[in-house]
Amino acid sequence: MLGTVRTQLDVVLPYFLAYADEDQRERWFPGLAAGRLLTAVAMTEPGTGSDLAGIRTTAVRDGDAYVLNGAKTFITGGLLADLVIVVARTSTDPDDRRAGLTLLVVEDGMPGFTRGRVLDKKGIKVQDTVELSFDEVRVPVANRLGEEGAAFGHLGHNLPQERMTVAVGSVAQARAALETTLAYVKERQVFGTPVASFQNTKFELAAVAAEIEAAQTMLDRAVRELVDGELSGADAAKVKLFCTEMQARAVDRCLQLFGGYGYILEYPIARLYADARITRIYAGTSEVMKVIITKSLGL
């Protein structure tokens, strides 16, 4: 459920870059590079959120194709996607729930592939989020990304970058909230004086500015480590957790300074508030981030 452009470039494209074979590169890369092919990745299912090991969508090998059955939900960009990377279970290992997952690229127009309703979200109205269903869809083996049964590792490989994408957006949106609030409180008069002149206003915005700076510093270090290939999954989780929780606090404090106008959607602060809520959920909830962090602490 990330913004459409960020989903294309930061979330989906890395899977093609890392795992597409030469034939797939020849078929898809020209369209991807030119912007003619839109993409999506379908992980989440109606009964499975952050627990990817619980995926129930199945793909059974039948000759030179996989027969795909199942449903996905909360799929960003799924309405218009030409290529959808679907995470499906191709085998089951009772001793390892993470084993047996495979990435299959479903193409627009394949029989049995249907797009459901566009979900009516609280925020991020700029991009679509839809339900997808697969009924006996025959996906050529030539459309498999990476090795059969290795999808859990493939997905984990790109998660640090996906979480950095969310963190970057969170810090940027918190900064936008601060800037629009600074402009508003300097103009808005209460009891004959600008809202900016009250000590509470000054203290609230000073606290927000300090938190944004702390998050930015943490984020800058993580991005450098990501580029150098040194960012660990635990550190990516720390950054996403801190930046998204900071965003929530910052936008909420800023909205309060708008008074009743902060609740009106024609004001940017209200839209920033609505958009901010999802960042603590997608790409792994705050609770999942804490689980990852505690494991790195040996707990």
Which residues are tagged catalytic? 162
Q: How far apart are the first and last CA of the chain?
A: 31
Q: What residue type is 24 in one-letter code? A: Q
Dig out the tokens for 9 from the structure.
Answer: 């470039």
Q: What residue type is 7 in one-letter code? A: T
DSSP 40: E
DSSP 123: S
**Sheet strands (E) in 28-99:** 39-42, 58-62, 65-76, 83-89
Give yes or no for a contact between 61 and 90, defined as CB atoms under 8 angstroms apart: yes
Q: What are phi and psi of 49, to 5 degrees?
A: -105, -100
Beta-bridge partner residues of 139:
66
* CA distances, 149 to each of 59, 67, 175, 238, 239 (Å): 11, 15, 42, 29, 30
Beta-bridge partner residues of 208:
none
Q: Cα separation of 296 and 294, whole Å?
A: 5
Q: Phi-psi category of 232—alpha, beta or left, where left has phi over 0 and alpha has psi -120 to 50? A: beta
Q: What angle do CA 160, 164, 169 make, to 5 degrees?
A: 155
Alpha-carbon dihedral sign for residues 42, 48, 54, 60:
negative
